[in-house]
């Protein structure tokens, strides 16, 4: 037995692919799912199937077999039935690839994305290194992202320990409004219960596990769009572009990856580098990750900020 959905698909394929209209007798004989010995049972089934297809928008046409035959047959005109070609611009392809990767559907839908690229004349535009290529510049993996995304979609409250730079970890209870990406970092943006205000939390600074502490629909969705810059201050355009640092031999090769130009020998076998700053907060986190094997020398304000963070850590 062939189920009804399969029979309808067989009928659509037969009527779309035929070059001339098919009579009811030909459909009964050729299309899998029909062929009932009782002609009246076939007629009732076929009439019901035609009506269902037409109600779904499938243009099942009735037409004469040819100019010299007054019998009628059935067909589907591809010009009326087929969807127009899907043509996406390179930036639209990139956005689609990013969405597939972020939702975990990249493996299942990668072949379809490649077909869209070929159809748009952009083969390999975003799939050279997988469904979402590294050239997009977005780090798609982040701690707790799947748990937080699920909580956001179901509007469930979450609780976790959060460790701001230079301070001890503290427990936060949050209504997750959005997961946003900014300059290589993933942030959870939501309402902090203790502060009764919207805050942003970098996912890589969450300590331990994220716990869902409510059922679904525990809070109303945010009334406005969630913007990263509303909660994460943009970098100061007047801030320093570069910093002068000296690195111990054990970490000099790592510091050199961020350096502008080669390093210069310094005292005690250390090496002096000029490195890019970018976000001062990210720079301080990077500098402190080397511990006592890296010193920030200039500019003075940036050095003072790093020293202040070290003093808070020491305290």
- What secondary structure letter does DSSP report for 108? H
Looking at the fold, whether 298 and 246 belong to one and the same domain comes out as: yes
Looking at the fold, whether 215 and 163 belong to one and the same domain comes out as: yes
- Report yes or no on 255 lying in a domain: yes
Looking at the fold, whether 199 and 263 belong to one and the same domain comes out as: no
Look at the alpha carbons of 228, 233, 239, 245 in this order and tell me if their dihedral is positive or negative.
Answer: negative
Listed in sequence order, the residues at least 6 apart from 126 whose beta carbon sits closer than 8 Å to its beta carbon are 90, 93, 94, 97, 113, 117, 132, 133, 135, 136
Q: In whole angstroms, give the CA distance from residue 96 to residue 118.
A: 14
CATH, residue 172: 2.30.30
Average pLDDT on 194-214 reads 91
Question: Which of 183, 205, 231 represents a domain boundary (last residue)?
Answer: 231
- Report yes or no on 237 lying in a domain: no
Q: What is the pLDDT of residue 69?
A: 72
Looking at the fold, whether 247 and 219 belong to one and the same domain comes out as: no
Q: What is the pLDDT of residues 55-101, one digit of tens each?
A: 999 999 998 887 777 788 999 999 888 888 777 777 777 777 777 76
Q: What is the pLDDT of residues 23-47, one digit of tens each?
A: 999 999 999 888 778 889 899 999 9
- Report yes or no on 210 lying in a domain: yes
Q: When comparing pLDDT for 119 and 116, which is higher?
A: 116
- Report yes or no on 104 lying in a domain: yes
Q: Structural domain of residue 123, as residue ranges?
A: 90-136
Looking at the fold, whether 156 and 227 belong to one and the same domain comes out as: yes
SS3 breakdown of the chain: % helix, strand, coil, rounded to 5? Answer: 40, 25, 35
Looking at the fold, whether 13 and 50 belong to one and the same domain comes out as: yes
Q: Tell me the pairing of strands 264-265 and 197-202.
A: unpaired
Q: In whole angstroms, give the CA distance from residue 240 to residue 65.
A: 80
Q: What is the pLDDT of residues 225-237, one digit of tens each?
A: 776 666 665 555 5
CB atoms within 10 A of CB 227: 12
- Report yes or no on 141 lying in a domain: no
Average pLDDT, the chain: 82
Percentage above 90 pLDDT, the chain: 33
If one counts the domains in the chain, the total is 4
Looking at the fold, whether 171 and 197 belong to one and the same domain comes out as: yes
- Report yes or no on 146 lying in a domain: no
């Amino acid at each position: 037995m062939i189920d009804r959905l399969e029979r309808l698909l067989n009928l659509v394929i037969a009527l779309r692919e035929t070059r001339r209209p098919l009579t009811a007798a030909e459909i009964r004989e050729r299309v899998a799912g029909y062929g009932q010995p009782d002609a009246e049972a076939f007629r009732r089934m076929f009439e019901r199937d035609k009506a269902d297809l037409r109600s779904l928008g499938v243009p099942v046409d009735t037409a004469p077999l040819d100019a010299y035959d007054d019998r009628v047959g059935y067909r589907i005109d591809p010009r009326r039935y087929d969807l127009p070609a899907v043509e996406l611009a390179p930036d639209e392809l990139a956005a689609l690839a990013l969405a597939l990767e972020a939702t975990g559907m990249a493996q299942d839908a990668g072949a379809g994305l490649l077909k869209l690229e070929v159809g748009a004349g952009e083969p390999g535009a975003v799939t050279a290194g997988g469904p979402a290529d590294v050239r997009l510049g977005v780090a798609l993996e982040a701690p707790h992202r799947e748990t937080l995304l699920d909580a956001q979609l179901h509007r469930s409250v979450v609780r976790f320990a959060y460790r701001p730079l230079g301070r001890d970890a503290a427990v936060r209870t949050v209504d997750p409004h959005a997961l946003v990406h900014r300059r290589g970092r993933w942030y959870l943006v939501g309402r902090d219960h203790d502060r009764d205000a919207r805050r942003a939390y970098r996912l890589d600074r969450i300590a331990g596990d994220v716990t869902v502490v409510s059922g679904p629909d525990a809070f109303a969705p945010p009334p406005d769009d969630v913007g990263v810059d509303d909660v994460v201050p943009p970098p100061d355009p007047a801030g320093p572009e570069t910093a002068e640092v000296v690195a111990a031999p054990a970490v000099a090769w790592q510091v050199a990856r961020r350096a502008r130009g080669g390093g210069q020998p310094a005292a005690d076998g250390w090496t002096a580098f000029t490195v890019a700053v970018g976000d001062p907060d990210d720079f301080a986190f990077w500098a402190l990750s080397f511990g006592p094997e890296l010193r920030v020398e200039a500019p003075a304000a940036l050095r003072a900020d790093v020293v202040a963070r070290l003093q808070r850590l020491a305290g």
